[in-house]
Amino acid sequence: MKVSKIKEVKPVEITPTRKRRILHTDHLMMVAFDFADGPAANPDPPHSHPHEQVTYIAQGEVLFFIGEESARLVPGDMVAVPPDLPHRIQLLTPTARLIDTFTPIRQDFL
């Protein structure tokens, strides 16, 4: 059984204010992203990838942009991101935790 316990798994530091923890199978990946650099005056730069993505907002508030559309998301909200579509976020609160799922798994995160 694969288990990832928050108190036992050291997060990967993306930047000093952004960290991630990962759990995956052969075909599915879940990533917990912790942000501590908000609120932001502007959105992050857009990015895209060939993976399907679903994001759950666990903590904080964000503006989520997909292509030309945007939505204000709060804890409990979810959003689906199709493959290869540019997307980005803007933090509206000092901290946020987003839970992303990807298929196939993102080898670039391993």
**pLDDT > 70: what percent of the chain?**
100
Q: State CA 37 to chain mean position distance.
A: 14
Options 3.90.1150.10, 2.60.120.10, 3.40.50.920, 3.20.20.105; CATH of 12-109: 2.60.120.10
The reported pLDDT for the residue numbered 50 is 97
Report the C-alpha gap between 47 and 41 in whole angstroms: 18
The answer to whether the predicted template modeling score (pTM) of the entire model surpasses 0.75 is yes
| 94: enclosing H helix or E strand | none
Domain coordinates in residue numbering, the chain: 12-109
pLDDT number for residue 6 = 86
pLDDT over 90 (residue 64)? yes
Record the tokens describing residue 96, joined without a space.
């946020």
At residue 85, what is the residue type?
L
Cα–Cα dist 33/41, whole Å: 20
Please tell me the total number of residues recorded for the chain in this structure. Answer: 110
Strands (E) located in the chain:
12-15, 18-24, 29-35, 52-59, 62-66, 69-73, 78-81, 87-91, 96-103
